[in-house]
Amino acid sequence: MTTILFAGGGTGGHLMPALAIADAMVRLDPRIRPFFVGSERGVEANVLPQRPWPYELLPLQPIRRRQWWKNVTLPMALYRVVRRVGELVASQRPGLVVGTGGYVAGPVVWTALRAGVPGLLQEQNAFPGIATRRLTPKVRQVHLGFPEARRFLRPGPQTQILDSGNPIQPPPSPKPDPASARSCLGLAPNRPTVLVVGGSQGALAVNLAVDAALAGGLWPAGVQLIWQTGAGTYDRFASREDHGRVLIRPFLDPVAEAYAAADLVVARAGAMTIAELCAWGLPAILIPLPTAAAGHQLTNARALVDARAALLLEQRFATGKKLSETIVSLLSYPARMADIASAVRVRAHPDAADVIAASALRVLSQA
């Protein structure tokens, strides 16, 4: 058995790619044994116990950019983490370390590299995180979710930078028929349908804009709505459900049927959401989270807009009226929708997990 050390977490956007790559590596080579290092306070504390791989949670914490005074305990915590990771590297003897970003990846990958373990990074966003930017010169491969991230990186003499895409659950093949998917959801099979998703936790600002459009009679006539509110605010908006016209759920799992039913998506601009939109070939109105670290969601959205693969609606302008007008401006012009769908499909990498896993195995064989 060969142990692969995985470091990435804090949020699902960093953890899920690591899990997808680990699963793909094991499919390609059953002798691989993933070992995850995560944070006690991250989403991985709830997710990793449900997975079959060994793991260890450490007292890792993010750098607080706004409340800088809370970083006073960071040096001591970092020292303890680095020391413990060094012990893990010595005991587990990994053949490769894989970092997928977030505040977990930096100290773990750095410590493993110092011990002579070859490294691989997977960067989800169009603007790379600080761990990716600092560690790129020292690793063997960097796999990009957005090709636009390349210009921010300075590779070392042994570093390959590859446009592999973000690892997601690919759409089924063949994709479900849109009319059948709508019927299964209790909607009219042949009416235009908009899917609103703000991530697993929802997005209050997006939800408020949708609510204002529905309450004010501004929602486009004849357009059906599938609305994922997030569990935290579902009760606040559930009364807007209108059987056969407006379907409201706290969380869509699986989401494949909703994607199949949609003509247009309104969403945040997280890297994994965008990867799913590309894989499904869906036009989208992106409303980036303005408080995302280093403004990475806005950078993600602009990358698609520049490629004519989506529309951008900044949150400060996202009123019910403006959202409805933007939806109408797309649905009323099928040719424009088709152009956007074609542009977004060009950026699709539905097999990203397998591509990255195969590359990782090649690095391992050369180590």
Whether pLDDT at 175 is above 70: yes
**What is the percent of the chain with per-residue pLDDT over 90, rounded to a whole number?**
82
Q: What is the pLDDT of residue 56?
A: 94
E strand or H helix that includes residue 272: helix 271-280
Domains of the chain by start residue, with CATH: 2-168+351-366 (3.40.50.2000), 178-346 (3.40.50.2000)
From the list 133, 139, 124, 138, the residue with the least C-alpha distance to 153 is: 133
Mean pLDDT of 121-136: 96
CB atoms within 10 A of CB 83: 10
Mean model confidence pLDDT for the chain: 93
Q: Decide the pairing of beta strands 193-197 and 160-162.
A: unpaired
Query: In the 8-state DSSP scheme, what is residue 321?
Result: H
Q: Decide the pairing of beta strands 141-144 and 32-39.
A: unpaired
Mean pLDDT of 337-351: 97
Q: How confident is the model at residue 167 (pLDDT cuts 50, 70, 90)?
A: very high
Mean pLDDT of 210-220: 97
Whether pLDDT at 78 is above 90: no
Whether pLDDT at 86 is above 90: yes
What is the rounded (10 degree) CA torsion for 127, 326, 346, 362? 30
Mean pLDDT of 58-64: 68
Mean pLDDT of 327-354: 97
Q: What is the pLDDT of residue 62?
A: 58
Q: What is the pLDDT of residue 285?
A: 98
Q: What is the pLDDT of residue 164?
A: 98
Mean pLDDT of 248-252: 93
Q: What is the pLDDT of residue 76?
A: 60
Q: Which residue has the higher pLDDT, 82 or 290?
A: 290
Radius of gyration of the chain (CA): 21
**What is the percent of the chain with per-residue pLDDT over 70, rounded to a whole number?**
95
Contacts of 188 (CB under 8 A, 6+ apart): 182, 224, 244
Whole-number Å distance between alpha carbons of 200 and 230: 6
Q: 44: which 2 tokens?
A: 């991985």
Mean pLDDT of 95-105: 92
